[in-house]
């Protein structure tokens, strides 16, 4: 369809469908033709139809999009705004209409020990599932979110964690819908679900039947790119904050935190400002802790700018019994920016036993961290 979706700010994603304005018709038609050409190239029959008629019917466009996405030849872009709920319904509709189902996707890669194999996503096959997320909920505990890759799973099914070899028995199963969850009797290959009270299973773990311990490729999470410092609004909340941050990291590995001993600040890291703001709201809702996000302090450090031919240090310590003694000479030279750190051992003739050299390198590295 050639329509304009017009969103009104502040209405939580409400929109109206309108006709494309006259001054944009030619541009829209140009883009449509480009899309049709790409879709036609995914299938020989579609290409012949397009060459004969110069266009494709709506059902042919839908089928071609689905084929192209399944073959990884097409990667549609959907414009959205998560903060204003703009375009999200269109994104969900696109997933329903065009994303391949589990059977259409075909077999998936897996391992059984060191052996690589393909697993058919067959509801009648041997059961296996992959845990991709963990969520903590009050009055329930930890919910493990998973996808069934093969077979059918139900409460009471005994499975094995291939990562650590420990057994797990499935308890209640749920289907999640936003904040709501609905208990369900079974889930089949391709289904997404949640289970409570898994003792030794975490995100990126695979559960399978005792007869075959499969592992599916782990999710590679993106590195955190946005850092802020956490400042509690009330004194004495440090323990609650630490507990909450740890739990949220378990749920979302792309959210990280650390205590910077040099700056005396707790630094949180995520995918962006919206990501960290969401975590702050979650801290308040779940743990009744209010914090502010501020820019982290910047540690000012020095570096080597010229050759220092002889740096000497002596270490002496006597506390009874055998004493400690060390005498180190270093020559320090700057490297070009971006070349990192290089440690050279120029001791000859075994004057200093090799076992002492790593301690010198460790001390240099520790000093570099503080400048």
Q: Is 94 buried (19+), middle (13-18) or exposed (0-12) by CB count in 10 A?
A: middle
Residues 77, 72: Cα–Cα separation, whole Å: 14
What integer is the mean pLDDT of 258-277? 93
Residue with tokens 């705004």: 81
pLDDT at 220: 93
The pLDDT-based confidence of 195 (bands split at 50, 70, 90) is very high
pLDDT at residue 72 is higher than 90? no
CATH code for the structural domain at 226-294 = 3.30.70.870
Of 98-102, 276-280, 297-301, highest mean pLDDT = 276-280
What integer is the mean pLDDT of 276-288? 93
pLDDT in tens, 144-193: 999 999 999 999 999 999 989 999 999 999 999 877 899 999 999 999 99
Bridge partners of 325, per DSSP, are: 316
pLDDT at 104: 79
pLDDT in tens, 310-358: 888 888 887 777 788 888 888 989 988 888 889 988 888 778 888 888 8
pLDDT at 370: 75
The helix/strand/coil state of 220 is coil
pLDDT at 19: 93
**Chain mean position to CA 228:** 19
| Sequence-ordered list of residues with C-beta below 8 angstroms from that of 205, at least 6 positions apart, any chain | 130, 131, 161, 162, 163, 164
Domains of the chain by residue range: 4-98, 108-208, 226-294, 308-370
DSSP states of 283-302: HHHHH---EEEEPPP-----
Q: Does domain 4-98 have CATH number 3.40.50.300?
A: yes
pLDDT at 127: 95
pLDDT at 18: 92
pLDDT in tens, 227-251: 999 999 998 899 999 999 998 998 8
Residue 65: other Cβ atoms inside 10 A: 20
The helix/strand/coil state of 56 is coil
pLDDT at residue 58 is higher than 80? yes
The helix/strand/coil state of 192 is strand
CATH code for the structural domain at 108-208 = 2.40.30.10
């Amino acid at each position: 369809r050639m329509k304009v979706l017009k969103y009104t700010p502040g209405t939580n994603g409400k929109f109206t469908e309108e006709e494309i304005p006259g001054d944009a018709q030619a541009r829209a038609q140009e883009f449509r033709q480009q899309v049709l050409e790409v879709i036609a190239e995914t299938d020989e029959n579609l290409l012949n139809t397009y060459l004969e008629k110069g266009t494709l019917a709506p059902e042919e466009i839908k089928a071609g999009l689905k084929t192209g996405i399944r073959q990884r030849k097409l990667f549609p872009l959907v414009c959205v705004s998560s903060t204003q709920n703009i375009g999200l319904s269109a994104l969900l509709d696109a997933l329903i209409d065009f994303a391949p189902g589990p059977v259409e996707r075909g077999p998936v890669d897996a391992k059984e020990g060191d052996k690589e194999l393909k697993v058919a996503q067959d509801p009648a096959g041997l059961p296996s599932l992959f845990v991709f997320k963990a969520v903590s909920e009050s009055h329930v505990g930890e919910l493990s979110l998973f996808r069934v890759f093969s077979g059918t799973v139900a409460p009471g099914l005994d499975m094995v964690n291939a990562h650590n070899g420990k057994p797990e028995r499935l308890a209640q199963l749920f289907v999640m819908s936003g904040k709501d969850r609905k208990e369900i009797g079974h889930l089949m290959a391709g289904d997404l679900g949640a289970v409570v009270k898994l003792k030794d299973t975490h995100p990126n773990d695979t559960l399978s039947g005792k007869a075959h311990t499969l592992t599916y490729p782990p999710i590679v999470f993106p590195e955190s790119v946005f850092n802020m410092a956490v400042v509690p609004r009330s004194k004495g909340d440090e323990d609650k904050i630490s507990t909450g941050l740890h739990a949220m990291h378990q749920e979302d590995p792309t959210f990280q935190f650390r205590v910077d001993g040099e700056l005396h600040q707790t630094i949180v890291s995520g995918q962006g400002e919206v990501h960290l703001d969401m975590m702050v709201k979650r801290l308040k809702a779940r743990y009744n802790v209010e914090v502010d996000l501020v820019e982290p302090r910047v540690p000012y450090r020095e570096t080597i700018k010229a050759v220092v031919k002889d740096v000497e240090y002596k270490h002496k310590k006597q506390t009874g019994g055998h004493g400690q003694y060390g005498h180190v000479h270093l020559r320090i030279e700057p490297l070009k920016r971006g070349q990192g750190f290089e440690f050279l051992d120029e001791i000859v003739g075994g004057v200093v036993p090799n076992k002492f050299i790593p301690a010198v390198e460790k001390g240099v590295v520790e000093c570099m961290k503080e400048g």
